């Protein structure tokens, strides 16, 4: 490979190498002893030969450095610019590579970018604005946001906010409620999930109205205000709109205010013995979760709450869910 040494102005050693088939290598030696080597290859390169090259490089490094290496680690290759994006961040900022092999559905609505991608492990995955929302494998999420199997939905009035994947609606109607009203703003989410998330939604999205449910394709805020003005009450309100923001920084104030608005309006339409269910966020985001719990203490009506931590398969992280009720 052809070597070029770069001037780092005293900040260690930096060299780049260009080789056959467009291979490009970056070698950096930092003053604290860290050595990084990044090898870039083009699509169609002989991967077996690349692995052999890296094996030889590791052996050479061990020989040259005479046992002074405290540890060495080779990371899997990152595939950049592929037709199917396999990399999605967790809520706490870790990068996860999924076994995604197909883009099943993609649309830009007036509200968000919608993708449904296929994973060999998790089935079809709904991704909204880059956030993993729901996969065929994620019944645990739906069960947790409905109360973990501890509630009696038979004969009850249920309000679902969001939930365009149809998972909550599908599970709720099995429990013979009096009526489930689902309010989802984005028709394109419903359209995509109706066709490509059948393991999650079953057939409930085939029609916007059934024996035990109705789906309103509207903004939930004016709907909640209308219900409150009319005195309409529900036994259960399930908020599947958005997770708790990952940050408590001022730029997130609008999201926090939206959460507070939804909470206040939901409590107004909740019967005195009713319950409000919602997701929190990743269990590692303790500051944000504490901020949310503080928000629960500043509502127009005093409430109590409990929380549960659940493993949602496609999230690859533990997720917190809240149950809220009036004092």
pLDDT tens, N- to C-terminus, the chain (327 residues): 899 999 999 999 999 999 877 899 999 999 888 999 999 998 888 889 889 989 999 999 888 888 788 899 999 889 888 888 999 999 988 999 999 999 999 999 999 999 999 999 999 999 999 999 999 999 999 999 999 999 999 999 999 999 999 999 999 999 999 999 999 999 999 999 999 999 999 999 999 999 999 999 999 999 999 999 999 999 999 999 988 877 676 555 788 899 999 999 999 999 999 999 999 999 999 999 999 999 999 998 999 999 999 999 999 999 999 999 999
The pLDDT, as a whole number, for residue 44 is 81
How far is it, in rounded angstroms, from Cα 240 to Cα 161?
6
Strands 270-282 and 317-326: antiparallel
Q: Based on the number of CB atoms within 10 Å of its own CB, is 39 exposed (0-12), middle (13-18) or buried (19 or more)?
A: middle
Other C-beta atoms within 10 Å of 160: how many? Answer: 29
Q: What are the catalytic residues?
A: 240
* pTM over the 0.85 mark: yes
Q: Report the distance separating Cα 237 and Cα 323, nearest Å.
A: 10
Cα angle for residues 122, 126, 130 (degrees, 5° grid): 110
Q: CB-hemisphere CA count at 13 Å for 263?
A: 31
Ordered by where they begin, the domains of the chain are 2-64 (3.30.160.110), 134-326 (3.40.50.150)
Q: Report pLDDT for 249.
A: 67
């Amino acid at each position: 490979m052809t070597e070029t040494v770069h001037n780092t102005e005293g900040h260690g050693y930096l060299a780049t190498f260009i080789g056959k088939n467009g291979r490009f290598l970056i070698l950096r030696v930092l003053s604290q002893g860290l050595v990084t080597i990044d090898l870039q290859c083009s699509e169609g390169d002989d991967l077996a030969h690349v692995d052999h090259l890296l094996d030889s490089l590791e052996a050479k490094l061990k020989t040259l450095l005479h046992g002074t290496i405290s540890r060495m680690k080779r990371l899997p290759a990152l595939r950049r610019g592929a037709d199917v994006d396999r990399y999605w961040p967790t809520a706490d900022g870790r990068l996860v590579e999924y076994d995604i092999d197909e883009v099943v559905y993609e649309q830009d609505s007036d509200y968000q970018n919608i993708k449904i991608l296929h994973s060999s492990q998790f089935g079809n995955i709904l991704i909204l604005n880059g956030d993993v929302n729901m996969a065929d494998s994620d019944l645990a999420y739906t069960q947790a946001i409905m109360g973990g199997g501890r509630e009696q939905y038979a004969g009850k009035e249920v309000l679902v906010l969001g939930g365009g994947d149809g998972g909550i609606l599908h599970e709720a109607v099995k429990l013979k409620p009096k009526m489930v009203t689902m309010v989802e703003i984005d028709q394109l989410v419903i359209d995509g999930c109706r066709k490509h998330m059948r393991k999650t939604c079953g057939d409930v999205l085939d029609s916007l109205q059934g024996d035990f449910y109705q789906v309103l394709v509207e903004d939930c805020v004016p709907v909640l205000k209308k219900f409150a003005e009319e005195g309409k009450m529900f036994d259960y309100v399930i908020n599947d709109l958005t997770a708790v923001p990952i940050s408590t920084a001022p730029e997130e104030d609008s999201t926090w205010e939206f959460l507070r608005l939804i909470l206040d309006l939901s409590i107004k339409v909740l019967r005195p013995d009713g319950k409000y269910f919602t997701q929190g966020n990743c269990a590692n985001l303790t500051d944000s979760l504490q901020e949310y719990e503080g928000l629960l203490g500043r509502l127009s009506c005093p409430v109590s709450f409990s929380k549960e931590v659940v493993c949602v398969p496609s999230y690859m992280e533990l997720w917190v869910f809240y149950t809220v009720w009036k004092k």
